Structure 1
């Protein structure tokens, strides 16, 4: 990273010298342009980004991991590295081995987490408790939690995509995102709060560029694109099922079905026999949860616009929740008191939004309300 910064600085210096000897512009204008260029290069991200971890496992898709690795490494001052459950050799989907020097136990926090996809091995990761628990723990520390391709299956299996907008590899994308409680969006990449998901394989590069744009702005991102010479020009516009010839799209789907459909069907059958979720048993709680999710998570990043927009709706949903019939298996001691507190605190928050309160005060208030909501969820699980 340091060498990259030196290289770019030298390039700018050479450009500056060229202008000095080859142009008739005055010294002040040249110095101004040089300073403007240096300001682009040395710009600081909107939030500190020091560590970027790419999760890998046997069977990951090469470009799912390498595309974001190469692209996000362009963020000056950030350390970008691969991390696996254990140190040692990890094979990608094609058998290429990479030595991984960092294990789960050594990583307690990250600024950006990237979860790549694959095929059968990726599906198996959705059942790996150690991996899922590590992701959930790291997610508490991240500014960006992201997935590429079917990496969204792994992220979805943690429960972190419930109620979120998300995309995935085209293969049974809507079906799989719905299975994990997400709202599928047929886009190249999707942002919902700090959760970013991309479509298949190459889309991880687009998502990574969008993250850089979110952090650094247009000019810095354009510089990265030029460094990558990112200007795709495929021979055919056929990179989605809608654009490919129908027979080709059907062929690819059937090929993936042979590998994955038995696993998917078995997982759905298993899920159907499991205990229904709290939200499916208590619709009024689910309605409050949807608004809370759309309000609280953006506020974590400092975006209070959803809070200011949704505060009245949040208060109304809390009132309806308190008036709703509590399902028999959730009629626990103290439940009604928690619901009443939630209603009162939601009403207070709605009034605070219309008053002269600072963003910091509002952020603390929605965080406290979110904690109260999770007290209710915890009570349901007792």
Structure 2
């Protein structure tokens, strides 16, 4: 007899240009679920460059990665290459087939869409990219975390922590989720009230759109076709 929990396999897709907090935020939470086994999968076992000046070494190639109980696709500017890569999209389809949860953070939702996993689903993504969801047959829902059956999508970057706590509560109970939140001292009190276009200075929103996101959205739209 053993009291050890059954392994719960969590698979994160890694790719060059990943926003590291899209991955590391949820991973910090989800890794504390009893029985959690975290796998980081990429096309090759070689350092994956993040957007923060450091690299992450994947733990498995696509062909060697075990089936996911929870599949998570982070976002980042590198998602443009992901949605055009047939091998990666097929890996997502294969992993999603038997997964209990299919999830994304930020623009990772667009990779799920490119893999055909958002059709007729409610979903969210980073605020600058929400207009692209309809290209994949999804309906945008304005929320930090959107659940539609086994599909769970999170908004931009830090929303990944919220999604991870939400799914942890569903898997292992609210008490454990609250315990993890407390142990991580996740009690946001940001110094500025500018974390979403609804509350930020409109001039700041326009500036960021013009300098960063307008070009990025156009490039992604062109890749989607």
Measured against the shorter chain, the TM-score band is over 0.9
1:172 positional shift = 3.1
Q: Tell me the CA shift for residue 82 of structure 1.
A: 1.3
Q: Deviations over 1:329-371 (max 9, x none)?
A: xxxxxxxxxxxxxxxxxxxxxxxxxxxxxxxxxxxxxxxxxxx
Q: Return the structure number with greater strand share.
A: 2
SS of the residue 2:57 aligns to: strand
Match of 1:186 in 2: 142
From 58, 61, 64, the counterpart of 1:106: 64
Say which SS state the counterpart of residue 160 (structure 1) adopts: coil
Q: For residues 5-51 of structure 1, give each alpha carbon's deviation from its aligned partner in whole angstroms, at most 9, with x where no partner exists.
A: xxxxxxxxxxxxxxxxxxxxxxxxxxxxxxxxxxxxx897xxx6521
After TM superposition, list the pairs within 5 Å mapping 1:268-279 onto structure 2: 271=225
Residues 146/233 of structure 1: CA separation in 2 closer, same or farther (3 Å cut): same
Corresponding residue number in structure 2 for 1:96: 54
Query: Corresponding residue for 1:80?
Result: 38
Is 1:60 the equivalent of 2:13? no
Report the equivalent of 2:107. 150
What TM-score do the two structures reach when normalised by structure 1? 0.56
Shift of 1:149: 0.3
* TM, length-normalised to structure 2: 0.94
Mapping of 1:316-331 within 5 angstroms? none
Matched, 1:164 2:121: yes
Partner of 1:51: 9
Within-5 A mapping of 1:337-352: none
Q: 1:124 aligns with which of 60, 81, 93?
A: 81
Alignment of 1:277-288 (within 5 A): none
8 Å contact kept, 2:132–2:221: no
Q: Kindly state the Cα deviation for residue 258 of structure 1 after the two structures are TM-superposed.
A: 4.8
The answer for unaligned runs of 5 or more in structure 1 is 1-41, 272-382
Question: Higher relative CO (CA 8 A, sep ≥ 6), structure 1 or 2?
Answer: 2
Contact 1:88 1:101 in 2 (8 A): no
> Contact 2:20–2:50 at 8 Å: present in 1 too?
yes
Q: Which of 85, 92, 115 is matched with 1:135 structurally?
A: 92
Structure 2 residue aligned with 1:317 = none
User: In structure 2, do the counterparts of structure 1 residues 265 and 215 end up closer, same or farther at CA, with 3 Å as the change threshold?
Assistant: closer
Whole-Å Cα distance in 1 between the matches of residues 35 and 178 of structure 2?
Answer: 18
Query: How far, CA to CA, are the matches of 1:101 and 1:77 in structure 2?
Result: 18
Over the aligned positions, Cα root-mean-square deviation in angstroms equals 1.7
Determine the structure 1 residue equivalent to 2:165: 209
Judging by fraction of residues, say which structure has more helix.
Answer: 1
> 2 CA distance for matches of 1:196 and 1:140?
15
- What residue number does 1:176 align with? 132
Distance 1:267 1:76 in 2: 40
Distance 2:99 2:51 in 1: 27
Provide the C-alpha distance between the structure 2 equivalents of 1:266 and 1:54, rounded to a whole number of angstroms: 26
Counterpart Cα distance in 1 of 2:201 and 2:4: 45
8 Å CA contact 1:157–1:180 kept in 2: the answer is yes
2:127 aligned counterpart, secondary structure: coil
CA contact (8 A) 2:10 2:69 kept: yes
**1:102–1:43: structure 2 CA closer, same or farther, 3 Å change rule?**
closer
Instruction: Return 5+ residue gaps in structure 2 as ranges.
Output: none
Q: Aligned with 1:88: secondary structure?
A: coil
Q: Does 1:231 align with 2:221?
A: no
SS at match of 1:139: helix
Residue 142 and residue 49 in structure 1: after superposition, are their counterparts in 2 closer, same or farther (change >3 A)? farther
Is contact 1:49–1:111 with CA below 8 Å preserved after alignment? no
